[in-house]
Structure 1
Amino acid sequence: MIPVPVRRQLVQVARGESPGDLLVRGARVVQPASREVFEADVLVAHGRVAALCSPGERREAARVIEARGAFLAPGFIDAHVHIESSLLTPAGFAAAVLPHGTTAVVAEPHEVVNVLGARGLAWMLEAGRTSGLRVFASAPSCVPASVFEQGGAGVSAREVREMLAMPGVLGLAEMMNYPGVLNGDPGVWDVLAEGFAAGRRLDGHASGVRGAELMAYAAAGLHSDHEATTPGEARERLRAGLWLMVREGSAARNLEALLPVLRERPRRAMLVCDDVSADELLELGHLNRLLRLCVRGGLPPVDALALVTCNPAEYWGLHDLGLVAPGYHADFVLLEDLQHFRVLETFVAGQEARAAGVTPPLTEGRVHLGSAWAEATFDIPAAWPVMQVRADQITTGRGPAGSGEARLVVADRYGRGEWAACWTSGTGLTGGTLGISVLHDAHHAAFLGGSDADLRRAGLELERLGGGVVVVVNGEVMESLPLPYAGLMTDRPPRDVAAQLQRITARLAGLGCTLTHPVTTLSFLGLSVIPSLKLTPRGLLDVDAWAYVPR
């Protein structure tokens, strides 16, 4: 909340009675709330917008920037993103997205919370405060994601209450356990009760839920959903009063399919990335990439900008973000155009935005596969169906037994000595092994392809690194990316991480892999709340039937 003395000083600056700190002169201001673009000078004081002044109006400020006709839009807000999925710490993530116009994110840190519990959320908020980016968060609601998962920590309703009280936490994170919601699971409803009691937003997550069950899910008090993949699903969610989060990340690309709905200009819609890799952030951009896709798909630029500015700010109750307007935070971006959304400069609190590069220590959460791993074998029941992997979606299909191409192994990384294997198709991998310690949401170790010897070698290397990404071919570690922060993140510069991910992808392509983002795609093959087949250390899960496939 802005102190009253500062508010009074803003009034004086707005009236021309006191000079401002910054004057951006000669801009074309984009105001998504009114769907306007107009010429104005923007006067800033105390990190906030004091006034929008008529061109040529004489105003004083300690510093003047000449916009020279550039478009000045509110800073972009990603309303739902898992920072850990970029493999970067918050400081690294800030360094990757600030140049693309993103000034604020609402992180859903259930990755680090699955590993470390509420301590992980506290660390994420602390790291966010020193990152140079505005990092808010939602309190993970499903740790573990379902009864079929067991990670490094479990979060009870009492711990959810404690997380909701942390400064910077805006609401309850995505309620993935929709069967628990619909079937009256007491533990799930205890968590929902904490969200109700806090009077906060309750994010939804209802993959494949439609019809009467979607109505029931909305009636339970959830406010949004980012799992729509078809126009029909999107419209159902809007009709049910849910805010529509249109997802376009590295693992799930839904924007193109949902553009017909966005062209209808729904009042309650946003663009989110959910999960995005570091290499894609640097190569293609963040929310500015999504804006390009929207405009290319026929959405007027100012309507598109509302989806990443005033709409997410309204949804999350960030009442002084999302607009360039008096009293609002001076978080804005100078754009060369409104087609390609080329960013000239990003400002946070009236200052040119720079990532701080400071990350607090985090020593817990290393990978431990158990003493039996060194002699492990990875047999697969002959009758098990094949998991059909989809390159641009996090859902999987079901293929007949015997049609598999590469083995998938998921191993408990918290020392319990459990693992399971199944066959997959759709990856193209014909040799070598990819191993990772980032597996949504319990974040066990996952391995794709390879002989038993290569699988064991990849696991031992992950243990040695404490977590990360490795590629093993014929017993030799060919590529690796250590992730020392809870086995999920690195503090290496984003460009270094992106370059290493590209080398890993190229190495795997040489082994036949056809996945665009193999690390990101593999990281979702254990998520027990996304249809249809997923693998946990305890076996092959039929998500549609909500039961393990019999051995």
Structure 2
Amino acid sequence: MNELTSKIDVAMGRIKAELVLKDAFIINVFTQTVEKKDIAINDGIIVGMGKYEGNHEINCNGFFVAPGFIDSHVHIESSMVTPEIFSDLVIKKGVTTIIADPHEIANVLGEKGIEFMLQNSKKGDADIFFMLPSCVPAVDFEDNGAVLEADNLERFIEDPQVLGLGEVMDVNAVTSGNKKMIRKILMVNKYRKSLDGHCPKINDKELNAYLCANIRTDHECTNYEEALEKVKNGMYVMLREGSAARDLKKLLPAVNDKNYSRFLFCTDDRHIEDLVDEGSIDNCIRTAIDEGLDAIKAYTIASFNAANCYNLWDRGAISAGMKADLVIFEDIKKLKIKNVIKNGKVYKNNHMFKDIFAKPSVNVDHIKEDLFKIKAKGKFVNVIKVQPGGLVTKKEKRQVKINEGLVECVESKEEVVNKIAVIERHKNSGKHSVGFIEGLGLKKAAIAQTIAHDSHNIIVLGDNDKDMEIAVNNIISNNGGIVFVSEGKLLEHLKLPIGGLMTSENPSFVVDKIIKLNSLAVKFGIKKEVDPFITLGFMALPVIPEIKITSRGLFDYSKFSFIDLFTDI
């Protein structure tokens, strides 16, 4: 009672507030206007707007104040740092609330992976909520480290940090009424929590089935017409601007004055160097405004819309009774952040990080280069064609050069065609497959990593078998990470001991390593417009069109089945 009475007294102006932001240009997400007022804050809550006095005052004359930004869908593991470190990186960019899906670490470590994310996230300064991984494995035929059924997930569902079920990427499991998937959906609906979608190129009837399951979001629209169709049918569409998948610009034409409340911003998968250099949701805001979106709508999409979508009624707007999560900045279009207020206090960058011990998660024997040899079964092969700026690939047919019964190379006058392989690393089963990929252009080198969505087996890219062997064996010896090898020499590596996905190293150390790895990639032929490590990681995810590679072989999304490497022309 005393706490509420105190807030009322401050709201009425009878006593001073703990903190007052004076003469601020306030972004009003309710009226789509800007108002100049003071903002009074007590006990981490906004208690009033108007004219107020405070024990501590910040002069905001000439500055704008917006609600704290919300990343509506992100896989923290893709930053390669722990939730604690990730929180420290993005709060500086104005992101005060994160909605994360830990299905990367869950595919490696199962329930223990989710437990780690929940506990470690509490050490961060931003609020981190979680959507429980719906597809572990992503599809039934994947070779990952764990299986999570409805019973495994239900133990987490009442945790206040858990908002619902993460992206249901196995559309076929929903539309066919797969019992295991239906149990997960019913479990979450029983607790009246949210369900995220993942449904590229879904047809009308499939979308209706999705909506019947109460799946209400999607971040995989391939064009703005698809986004409009989903919004028209009641979905929230996420405008994604990640590191490899940058869909915001092509989807933005779908946003208009009548439907903007149905759009959210998300980063999905964003590398640490992009977070540091370009930003997070702040980057989405700037990009959207640069592309012509009304500035107030951009800030509304970044905060209020996401809060409404996920029933976070205590945030997303500047209003009495709301959490005092605020961003103070110059220039409404360029968004130059001056201060971030979290729970009523100015955020100060004084976080200290501790090393985290992690058990080995790479369980596979060292390999020989013979593993990458391909017996010729024809003159033509199916090749994965990478498209810069996206995760969707094309299936191409290319002729091969044969020498003594083995494929020597894929003949191509225009593009470098590399070998690509996936090696199961969780149960030492010996499963592996080798194929070809074009559009990356790596020359005289190999890249290997344990980031390979979503099963996170070892994936390796190269133009010669020996460098690929050395790269993979370094990954095994280092218990996961990223390595770059050329002419038999290890040129650079980043250890990722937490599930082969994350490290607790200082973020500046990680950024330095990634910068060096990126520089090597460009030096050895990778196209500048391609993020080599995120792009490579997604080449093993069979639930994104059109063709991918897993430890079991090439997978054709349109047929939703495996196909042979060799093909008739």
TM-score strictly above 0.5: yes
User: SS state of the match for residue 210, structure 2?
Assistant: helix
Q: Return 352-361 or 159-168, whichever deviates more.
A: 352-361
Identify the residue that residue 225 of structure 2 maps to in structure 1. 232
Deviations along 1:269-306, one digit per CA (max 9) or x if unpaired, are: 11111111111111111111111111111111111111
Partner of 1:46: 43
Shift of 1:354: 4.0
Give 1:341's aligned residue. Answer: 335
Deviation at 1:82, TM superposition (A): 0.6
Q: Is the counterpart of residue 463 in structure 1 residue 483 in structure 2?
A: no
Instruction: Provide, for residues 192-213 of structure 1, a one-character-per-residue CA deviation record: whole Å limited to 9, x for no partner.
Output: 1111112111111101213332
Change (3 A) 1:431 1:123: same
Partner of 2:563: 549
Native 8 Å contact 1:80 1:107 kept in 2: yes
Q: CA RMSD in A?
A: 1.7
CA contact (8 A) 1:92 1:357 kept: no
1:237-291 CA-partner distances (Å, limit 9, x unpaired) = 0112111111111111111111111234512111111111111111111111111
Pick the aligned partner of 1:280 from 271, 274, 297. 274
Structure 1 letter corresponding to 2:135: C
**Identical pairs, percent:** 30
- For 1:12, the equivalent position in structure 2 comes to 9
Distance 2:354 2:50 in 1: 39
Q: 1:230 to 1:487 in 2, by over 3 A?
A: same
The separation in 2 between residues aligned to 1:192 and 1:51, in whole angstroms, is 40
Specify the code of the residue in structure 2 equivalent to 1:260: P
State the TM-score, normalized to the length of structure 2.
Answer: 0.92
* 2:359 corresponds to 1:364: yes
Aligned partners of 2:165, 2:23: CA distance in 1, in Å? 42
Tell me what 2:345 maps to.
351
Instruction: Note if contact 1:127-1:358 (Cα within 8 Å) is conserved in structure 2.
Output: no
In 1, the alpha carbon distance for the partners of 2:479 and 2:256 equals: 46
CA contact (8 A) 1:89 1:359 kept: no
Q: 377-386 or 333-342, which moves further after superposition?
A: 377-386
Change in 2 beyond 3 A, CA 1:340/1:50: same
Q: Which runs of 5+ in 1 are unaligned?
A: none
Distance 1:357 1:79, change over 3 A: farther
Deviation at 1:219, TM superposition (A): 2.5
Q: Which amino acid aligns with 1:146?
A: V
CA distance in 2, matches of 1:516, 1:425: 12
Distance 2:470 2:267 in 1: 34
Label 1:184 to 1:474 Cα distance change in 2 as closer, same or farther (>3 A). Answer: same
Aligned twin of 1:510: 523
Structure 1 contact 127–360 (Cα < 8 Å) conserved: no
Change (3 A) 1:342 1:438: same
Pick the aligned partner of 2:536 from 522, 526, 551. Answer: 522
Structure 2 unaligned residues grouped into runs of 5+? 401-409, 411-416
Shift of 1:147: 1.5
Deviation at 1:99, TM superposition (A): 1.6
Give the structure 2 partner of residue 27 of structure 1.
24
Give TM-score, length-normalised by structure 1. Answer: 0.95
SS at match of 1:146: coil
8 Å Cα contact 2:480-2:497 kept in structure 1 = yes
C-alpha distance after superposition, 1:481-532 (max 9, x if no partner): 1112211112223333223212111111111111531111111000121111
Equivalent position of 2:131 in the other structure: 138
Q: Residue 538 of structure 1: which of 547, 552, 559 is its match?
A: 552
Measure the CA separation in 2 of the matches of 1:396 and 1:253. Answer: 14
Q: Which residue of 2 aligns with 1:195?
A: 188
Counterpart position of 2:508: 495
Change beyond 3 A, Cα 1:161–1:73: same
**One-letter identity of the residue aligned with 1:15:** M
Q: In structure 1, the residue corresponding to 2:399 is in which secondary structure?
A: coil
1:440 aligns to 2:450 (yes or no): no
**1:68 Cα offset (Å):** 2.4
The one of 303, 320, 323 equivalent to 1:309 is 303
Distance 1:81 1:354 in 2: 24
Kindly indicate whether the alpha-carbon contact (under 8 Å) linking 1:389 and 1:397 is maintained by their aligned counterparts in 2. yes
TM superposition shift of 1:220: 2.9
